[in-house]
Structure 1
């Protein structure tokens, strides 16, 4: 007998019993799943409100925060035109500097962190455990505590090597690489431990060395965590202000985070509308990169979290 013939019949040959549907009760639904929807909506509104306020302020032609209290009460592109065409505000140069510094820092952080994580994960040497503990302990101290030391160090370096000293973008990239290397190394170390060591052993039997295993096998398998580290490093570099304001002195070398503060540094003549417009345009590359790498984010953050 076919499935169509037996459909609607029980095992005894009679009609299948119809299970009555329970009536909808709001209190039961709220206890089981309803409260989750409410919490989710509240969190979404809480996260979107600052973004909506900044976008509304960027579209306000008056350039003040007082006129932005009523969201989208006035809409215009004057602030975007003003920040892109004002010769005293080289926003295009700031934006280009930020993208270049953030991109080089992200690539360098991923490469150096992957090398260090592979060494800690696959090699056994004296001081390995002490090195891992040191990485974690050093990252507990805020980077702001080292601003004075960074300024004095880079000033001294500038006397011997002006190309990588104070007021140079290369020097700023080197500082960013040193600050982000520890936590990213530890993050990638946990992911590398989830990759079976039998893959390395099989490659070694075929005659592959550590360099070939790392570049042809490990990096491909570790693509999720590499994407996550690159994204985190890129976002941090774009948003960082303290170290960049200390390192970069010349206006044409500064990043967006440092340059935009000049628009609101004077309370009497603060152009908050242009400041918001610059913030919105700076956020676009970050959002685009996030959407491009979003398929790796969940896997890269959760893998290696448990053993």
Structure 2
């Protein structure tokens, strides 16, 4: 029942800005811990990267165990709700649609807040694709995976997942500095997301289960990530839009394959709104599964 309360609390209140304007968000604290390991341990070897992940993971598990011994479920529910991101994700994606209705420059500014690719030259369809892809991928990383590991391991499982996911986002990239040092965090993040990514795809597909599951599997395998392609491929089929495709990072063009290439490519705010609605429908199915587990 604790997971049900966590899902409902997060959906109701999201990220209270007044609170996080005064105090650092737990994700920010995790980011500081990852940055500390990067400064102190990074000698550009895999061995030190493994040590960093062990320190971060061990600290997260110990903190989770300490919080779990507090009387009552209040600490579990509050920490769980803080570390899930359904409401904030839906709000950020919806904000891109609202901005894009005003102008393309406003849409670029809004989507730049939720994606890491270059946005300066994006047209309306590219902005919409970026927002929808972010919606799908972050539904897995920010909602389903934390809920999954919370259900399996309580606060230790949730905090372990979040710190590893944070480490992957900060040091898991293939840059000269992090090619070796970030290897362990990237591989562990892939492992922890293996089941949640596929569960996310299933939840999204179940919002409109009109066939296409085999095609989702096929498209997911084309993705550069072993996990992110699953929810993205499912969202593409549900909305009947083409996602991924060519884009630019740090001024360098990347010719990624299209996901659901026969889907619509001339898309805009309406499709972003449809993706937001799909997020909430998939969340509702997840809530139903949590209720079944509770009873």
Q: Does TM, normalized by the shorter one, top 0.5?
A: no
Alignment TM-score, normalising by the size of structure 2: 0.26
| Higher Cα radius of gyration | 1
Q: Which is bigger in relative contact order (C-alpha 8 A, separation at least 6)? A: 1
